[in-house]
Structures are given as structure tokens and as C-alpha cells.
Amino acid sequence: MSSFPRRHLLQIEGMERPEIDAVLDLAESYVLLNRTGKTPRDLLRGRTLINLFFEDSTRTRTSFELAGKRLGADVLNMSVSTSSVNKGETLLDTAATLNAMHCDLLVVRHDQSGAPHLLAQKVEASVVNAGDGTHEHPTQALLDALTIRRRRGRVEGLSVAICGDVMHSRVARSNIHLLLTMGARVRVVGPPTLLPAEIERLGVEVFHDMAAGLAGVDVVMMLRLQRERMARGLVPSAREFFRFYGLDQAKLAAAAPDALVMHPGPMNRGVEIASDVADDPIRSVIREQVEMGVAVRMAVLDRLTRAALANA
């Protein structure tokens, strides 16, 4: 078995290619097991997985819950309101509570960048970052890579365009790190007000025009545009955004004929993506991404548990 020495999965940045390959290979095997219903339910038996979500997310939480249960873990969901008076105090108080409960795996979603890193310093459990602020969402990038790999047989050498609100997207950051590490070429496409400063220094090519940005790409990854970006004046309106950056069939025509369309969900139909593209049975792999999500999360829980056992 290849080694997975890390105790936590906090970010893709800094992960090496062999480690990513190993997770994807393992996830691949879980895809088959999931389809046949023969998952190893004894692997996490007696272990406690807590889904600690400081931010609403039905999709990611359910995916982790299913992954944990299919491996036999006791899964608990804790939703913590971030509207409470002192968020930070809650975070460290929660860490103390979790230590007292002897939790083994802690899956954290938080609206603040770096929150899982802070928790990882304080808890005894293995921490999985399920999305922190505008920083990273590592399992999303892993499941996206698995989806691409299964469809195209490889990630290396492919050209991927990540489009829309890159500035506020943890999905974009994790994907940029992972795709570049795996040898893909990465473009980001969006209005200058939604691209973070010096993003090109991460190794991506920057485009402000969808036709140019999508020209010939193998994969189009759309990002969710939250309504509050409009309220903050970063884009004037949803309809203007859709006109210039929403993925419709006309814009998609610039990409390679067999280009895949991806979206981390939940989608804003008619804002960043047209319904007929999202539901395109040939090119859209959005539903497949959800299936890969469970398999990837099983692989991550599997490896973190084995690493914890090896280090115990």
C-alpha cells in the first residue's frame, strides 16, 4: 500500500502528484464497490465521524455522511450557526468539546479561510477540510479530477477553463493547484472584478472573454455566482453576467467538440449556466461529479484512518 502519511486533509496546495494519484486510484475502486453495494463496512467500524458544518451545505455534508456510513463509521452531523456572537470562541470551544467526545474524523466546513487549519491544531481527530471560506475545497478538486480521468483517461495534457467568480471560489483554488500538479493546462475566465490579484502567478492563463478563454479547451468548469456579489457591485446584474459569462451553447461552441461541462453545484441556472447546457446528456458530467464525490470521500476517509492507525 502506498503511504498516506498525512494526518489531515486541509488543502491541495503542497500535495504531490503520487499522493493525488493514489487517492484517485483508491477512489476508482470505491466507485465499483459503490455500484455493486459491496463496500467494506468494517473499515471504519467503531470510529466516529463528525460532520461539523458552520455553513449550510446539503450536498457536501450528505456526501461525507454517505461515505462514512458506507465504510461503517458512526456519523454525526453538527450544524453550528455562524451568526452566534463570537465565531472564533465557538470554534475553539467546539474543539475542546470534540476532544472530549473522542471523535476520530472531523469534517469541517466553515465560512472563514483557515478555520480547519486552526481546528487541526487543537483537535486530536483527523481533520478533513470540506470547504473553508475562499481558500480551498480539496475533496471537490479530487472528485473533479476523478470525473475527468474516468471520462478522458487522463488529466495530464488536458486544457481546462475555470470560469466565473474565481475570486470567491475555494473550488477554483483547489482545482488550480490540483490540475497544475497533475500536468493539465489551466485557464481562468471571468471579469476582472471577480478574478483575485496576481492569480496568474499560480500558473494559470487569464482571460476576460469567454470565446477566447474557451477556445479549444477539453473541460469547462463553471463556478457558482452568489447573489451577494451583485449586491456588492462586483457585477452590475445577473442578466449582464449571463450575457457575457454565462455558459450557453453558443459560448460552449468555442470549446473542443467533446469538451466536458462541470459545475460543483448548486447551480444558478440562467446566471452562470444555461439549463440546456447543464442538462446536456453528452457533455454535462455534473451528475457524475456527485457520484464521484462519495467515492473520493470514502478514499480520503480510508487513507486518513489507515494513516492514523499506522501512527498510533
Binding residues (CB under 8 A) for other proteins: these are: 13, 87-89, 91-92, 110, 112-115, 117-118, 132-136, 170, 173, 196-199, 201-202
Residue tagged 451568526 (cell numbers):
83
Closest separation in Å from C-beta 84 to other proteins: 13
- Main-chain phi, psi angles of 252, to 5 degrees: -65, -25
Which residues, in sequence order, are bridge partners of residue 76?
50
Cell 449586491 -> residue: 231
Q: Considering the complex, state which of residue 91 and residue 217 has its C-beta at the smaller distance from other proteins.
A: 91
Q: For residues 252 and 219, is the Cβ–Cβ distance under 8 A?
A: no
The smaller minimum CB distance to other proteins, of residues 139 and 305, is found at 139
Residue 217 is which amino acid?
Answer: V
Amino acid at 100: A
User: Measured from the CB atom, is 56 or 89 closer to other proteins?
Assistant: 89
Q: What strands lie across the sheet with 48-53, from one edge to the other?
A: 74-79, 48-53, 105-110, 126-132
Compute the least distance from the CB of residue 200 to other proteins, in Å.
Answer: 9
- Rank residues 48 and 139 by Cβ distance to other proteins and give the closer one: 139
- Least separation in angstroms between residue 238's CB and other proteins is 22
Note whether 305 and 126 are within 8 A (CB). yes
Least distance (Å) from other proteins to the CB of residue 239? 26
Sign (positive/negative) of CA torsion 268, 133, 167, 251?
A: negative
Query: Which of 143, 157, 121 has the alpha carbon at shortest distance from 60?
Result: 143
CB of 77 or CB of 113, closer to other proteins: 113
* Ramachandran class of 81: left when φ > 0, alpha when ψ lies in -120 to 50, beta otherwise: beta
Q: How far is the CB of 24 from other proteins (least distance, A)?
A: 23
Q: Is the peptide bond before 281 cis (omega within 30 degrees of 0)?
A: no
Number of residues in the chain: 312
Nearest approach in angstroms of CB 132 to other proteins is 7
Query: Is residue 74 within 8 Å of 49, Cβ to Cβ?
Result: yes
State in angstroms the smallest separation of the CB of 13 from other proteins.
7
Least distance from other proteins to the Cβ atom of residue 303, Å: 23
Of the two residues 23 and 172, which places its CB atom closer to other proteins in the complex?
172
Residue number with CB closer to other proteins (172 or 262): 172
Report the distance separating Cα 192 and Cα 214, nearest Å: 17
Residue found by looking up cell 452566534 in the block: 84
Smaller CB separation from other proteins, 197 or 309: 197
